[in-house]
Amino acid sequence: NAGVMQNPRHLVRRRGQEARLRCSPMKGHSHVYWYRQLPEEGLKFMVYLQKENIIDESGMPKERFSAEFPKEGPSILRIQQVVRGDSAAYFCASSPRQDGAGELFFGEGSRLTVL
Amino acid sequence: QKEVEQNSGPLSVPEGAIASLNCTYSDRGSQSFFWYRQYSGKSPELIMSIYSNGDKEDGRFTAQLNKASQYVSLLIRDSQPSDSATYLCALNAGNNRKLIWGLGTSLAVNP
């Protein structure tokens, strides 16, 4: 039973390029959360999605960031026109049920470096 | 006041000792509490959840919740060097669909 799969594990982009991070939740999980973590800092909630719906995007910057979780395929976190401050680890987590927001299963993360 | 507060540490204990990690929170409506462990460079991993006042034991780990005093703690008995990690406290205030996270406490278990 595969866990939460994220790719790429490492991504290097130059300023102004686009970064696209993918997350496949655990089998049977329809709730996906994206978090950002800077070195020596805590986890910052970004967005909570269910299939085809954004439920809570209160942690997403208003510009350049978007997320989707289509009916088929992985969840995508997209960062347009990246800047150096976007360099961070981006974690995806999934949960089997809506009220299971505390019992999250995390992927290994995607580490974005912006040059 | 931060919603979830943890001492950043590092907390250093000798191998075999009890490590005590504490977490206080501000929202009295919080209902569910979680401890995650995160090794350096890795992703968080759920190790304990607790929902009612009192103690909950799982192997060498014991979570303690006191809602009146608004704190939750994690005890690790017979600490091992492999327990060296950052321990993240998180809580869910019921109607929220997302967790509120502390910044974590770094634990170092010395052989």
Q: Do A48 and B46 touch (CB under 8 A)?
A: no
Listed in sequence order, the residues at least 6 apart from A106 whose beta carbon sits closer than 8 Å to its beta carbon are A4, A91, A92, A93, B43, B44, B45
SS3 state at B95: coil
Select from A65, A73, A90 the least CA-distant residue to A24. Answer: A73
pLDDT in tens, A20-71: 999 999 998 889 999 999 877 788 999 999 988 999 999 999 999 999 999 9
Q: Do B43 and A56 touch (CB under 8 A)?
A: no
pLDDT in tens, B24-54: 999 888 889 999 999 998 999 999 999 999 9
**Contact (CB, 8 A) for B64 and B12:** no
Residue B96 sits at the chain A interface (C-beta within 8 Å): yes
Residues in chain A: 115
Residue B87 sits at the chain A interface (C-beta within 8 Å): no
As given in the structure block, the two tokens for residue A10 are 């490492």
**Contact (CB, 8 A) for B38 and B45:** yes
User: How distant is the Cα of B111 from the closest Cα of chain A, in angstroms?
Assistant: 24
